[in-house]
Amino acid sequence: MFSFTVKHTDADTQARLGVLETPHGSVDTPVFMPVGTRGSVKGILPQQLHDVGADMILANTYHLLLRPGPNIVESLGGLHRFMGWDGPILTDSGGYQVFSLSDLNQISDDEVEFASHIDGALVRLSPEIATGVQNQLGADVIMAFDECVKLPCSNEQMRQAVDRTMRWAEQSLQAHRRKDQWMFGIVQGGTDRELRHYCCEKLIALDFPGYAIGGLSVGEGHELLVETTAWTAPLLPEDKPRYLMGVGMPRDMVAAIAAGVDMFDCVLPTRNGRNAFAFLREGTIRLRNEKYRKDDGPLDPQCDCYSCRNFSRGYLRHLFLVNEMVGPILVSLHNLAFYQWLLAEARSAIAESRFDQWSKTWKQYDAERSDLTVECN
């Protein structure tokens, strides 16, 4: 039911073109997965996700454990039927919430105890619990439970987190019960090369069908993110998918693809879309700016998504100023289309062995090409 095949590698970089086969369809890689944390990509219908080119989406174990609970999801036909999404799904194990909800949890060598951010109730996650929940949810790809720590941190804290991650990876594999799900291991270690190498070696020995690079985009900055990814990705098996978790700025993804990464997820397209921030071919814009008040041009003249075909920047700005919910939906939809376009362009560049040259146009995208000065007429 599963396979991963590398079809082509770029001549001048480690970028690779591949296909991930799952029980719910095939996925061309490199791929960007929109995030549907609670079983829905905010404001976007499943058909709209298909229309913008999304092949695979992500949901989150911790949040679905709280509401509605894995028993409910399972009783309603599993996550695919529950969400109305017939394509591949990946579920995060909840390890990221160990980082993002650190003020609400306590970590031991055996488990993490959370005070629910909803009502304060005690919630426990361990390798066995996180794996059991993911088995019930029924995603195609599930993740081993891990500990992600915020950077910077002490060497002792990072070493402790890596040791826990290794123990929890083995326990997650032992708890895994479904053959129609692939489980990926997660490499931790911050920006410490020695720890990343150690973690890779231990995970590879466990023979996961795929591997994720976790613990980045958590405060280390662009340069260290790129450097750490470039160091870590080649340590992972060439014949298995490599997934960089939670990284979504365009220049970060392009650099990671050059290092041999195959899969990405991030909330940026939809979170930024809900805040009137749009990703365009030529840069980024903030639609609340006064200069867009009378702009009758499309959001991105080079984009053919539903939002760009039908609405002006001036209209979209108006929607945000009067708090109409369709504004965040339309800009989120466009941003998702942009991300799928970007990854499709990357795949074409790899297939034609011109990725190195193509990637140079994206190195400064997020840093220098924001809020366009040239507007559409």
Q: Hey, which residues are catalytic here?
A: 92, 265
Nearest CA among 66, 59, 96, 94 for reference residue 80: 59
Indicate the angle between helix axes 193-206 and 155-175, nearest 10 degrees. Answer: 10
* Angstrom distances, CA of residue 272 to CA of 215, 308, 333, 339, 349: 22, 17, 11, 12, 27
Please identify which residue in the block is written with the tokens 């061309």: 28
Length of the chain: 377
* Angstrom distances, CA of residue 136 to CA of 84, 158, 279: 17, 31, 36
Please identify which residue in the block is written with the tokens 């193509």: 358
**8 A C-beta contact, residue 128 and residue 112:** no
Instruction: Report the distance separating Cα 240 and Cα 220, nearest Å.
Output: 27
Nearest CA among 38, 35, 34 for reference residue 79: 38
Helix (H) or strand (E) holding 358: helix 355-359
What are φ and ψ of residue 9, in 5° steps?
-120, 135
Half-sphere exposure of 209 (CA within 13 A, CB side): 19
**How many other β-carbons are positioned within 10 Å of the β-carbon of residue 156?**
8
* Angstrom distances, CA of residue 107 to CA of 97, 117, 166, 174: 12, 16, 15, 21
**8 A C-beta contact, residue 101 and residue 118:** no
Instruction: Report the distance separating Cα 318 and Cα 288, nearest Å.
Output: 8
**8 A C-beta contact, residue 168 and residue 145:** yes
Please identify which residue in the block is written with the tokens 């990926």: 184
Burial tier of 28 (Cβ tally within 10 Å: 0-12, 13-18, 19+): middle
Instruction: Report the distance separating Cα 273 and Cα 287, nearest Å.
Output: 10
